[in-house]
Structure 1
Amino acid sequence: MSTEHLNNEEAISKLKEMATKIDIGMLCTHTKDSKHVHAVPMSTQEVDDQGNIWFLFSSESETFRHLQEDSSICLLYSDPGNYSFLSIHADTEVSQDQGRIDKYWNKMIEGWFEKGKEDPRIRVMKVKPHEAHYWDTKSNKMITFMKVAVSGITGQKMDVGRSGDLNI
């Protein structure tokens, strides 16, 4: 796997491509009561043109309580079938931006909030990455395995993918 660090617009484009394709990220928050992280699956609503990642969640969640103590998070995306992975360290902002709630509202989210779009528990989370790293083979696990095997047997260097920092 070769290293390819991406900057600015290229980094945002890669972040957007991977986070959107994988969709579900494990959002890890910190608590003062434990040295362990608290991780929950979150569905990506949008990656904007500045590289911010947007989510909807509940003010009654543990995640919300943790963010009141510490707004820094780690967000992990994983697609093992395609050997694509993304690790993001970020700060967050939480709001009740009705425009964003309206924009992201869908049947899946409706299942979490019985009172609809006007449910007072709905929160919008803006994830602002400050450090990110990616691993992307651009092919599935079997093809990647075959490339690695051929490379090992023949000594010929095969392109098995890229990894690097995303400097946004």
Structure 2
Amino acid sequence: MSTENLHNDEAREKLKDLVNKIDVGILCTYPTDQPYVHAVPMSRQEVDEEGNIWYLFSSESDTFKHLKQDNKVSILFSQVSDYSFLSLNGVATVSQDKARIEKYWNKFVEAWFEKGKEDPRIRVMKVQVDDAHYWDNKTSKLVTLLKVAASAVTGKKLDIGREGELNV
């Protein structure tokens, strides 16, 4: 596996590509009264031009309660079908930005908020990414598996993918 650290625009573009391709990530918050992280699947609304990731969620959720105690988050994305993975850490800010709620409103979100866009529980979360690490392959899953098998049989190291830091 080769290393390819990306910076600035390239890093933001890679982050955006991976998050948009995978969509649902496991969002981890850090409750101060529990020994372990709290993890929930979350579908992103947008990755903006600065590399911030946006979500809609409920003020009645454990995630909201935990963010009031500690605004650090980690998000893990995994697309096993093509060996694409992303792990990131950042800081979340929460608002009730009506323009963002309007922008992100869709049928999927509507299922979570029966009172519609005016539901007082709706919160907007912006995750500002502090650091991120990715792993992906350069070829299809089948070719990657064949390269892994060939490496095991021959003992030769074949370049099966890339990984690196994303410095957004």
Give the alignment's TM-score, normalised by structure 1.
Answer: 0.96
Q: Kindly report the root-mean-square deviation, in angstroms, between the aligned alpha carbons of the 2 structures.
A: 1.2
Structure 2 residue 37 is the aligned partner of structure 1 residue 34: no
**SS of equivalent residue, structure 2 residue 112:** coil
- CA distance in structure 2 between the aligned counterparts of 1:139 and 1:65, rounded to whole angstroms: 42
Query: For 1:55-93, what per-residue CA distance to the aligned partner results, in whole angstroms no more than 9, with x for missing partners?
Result: 000000000000000000000001111111100000011
Distance 1:138 1:107, change over 3 A: farther
Uncovered stretches (5+) of structure 2, i.e. residues with no partner: none
- CA distance in structure 2 between the aligned counterparts of 1:101 and 1:157, rounded to whole angstroms: 49
- The Cα shift of 1:33 comes to 1.0
| Structure 2 partner of 1:95 | 95
8 Å CA contact 1:83, 1:139 repeated in 2: no
- CA distance in structure 1 between the aligned counterparts of 2:162 and 2:91, rounded to whole angstroms: 26
Q: Percent identity?
A: 60
Structure 2 residue 15 is the aligned partner of structure 1 residue 15: yes
Alignment size in residue pairs: 168
Q: Following superposition, which runs of at least 4 residues in structure 1 exceed 2 angstroms of deviation?
A: 138-143, 151-159
Structure 2 residue 128 is the aligned partner of structure 1 residue 128: yes
Structure 2 residue 138 is the aligned partner of structure 1 residue 160: no
**SS of equivalent residue, structure 1 residue 33:** coil
**1:55 corresponds to which letter in structure 2?**
Y
- The Cα shift of 1:156 comes to 4.8
Structure 2 residue 108 is the aligned partner of structure 1 residue 108: yes
- CA distance in structure 2 between the aligned counterparts of 1:143 and 1:103, rounded to whole angstroms: 40
Stretch moving more, 136-145 or 61-70: 136-145
- CA distance in structure 1 between the aligned counterparts of 2:90 and 2:138, rounded to whole angstroms: 25
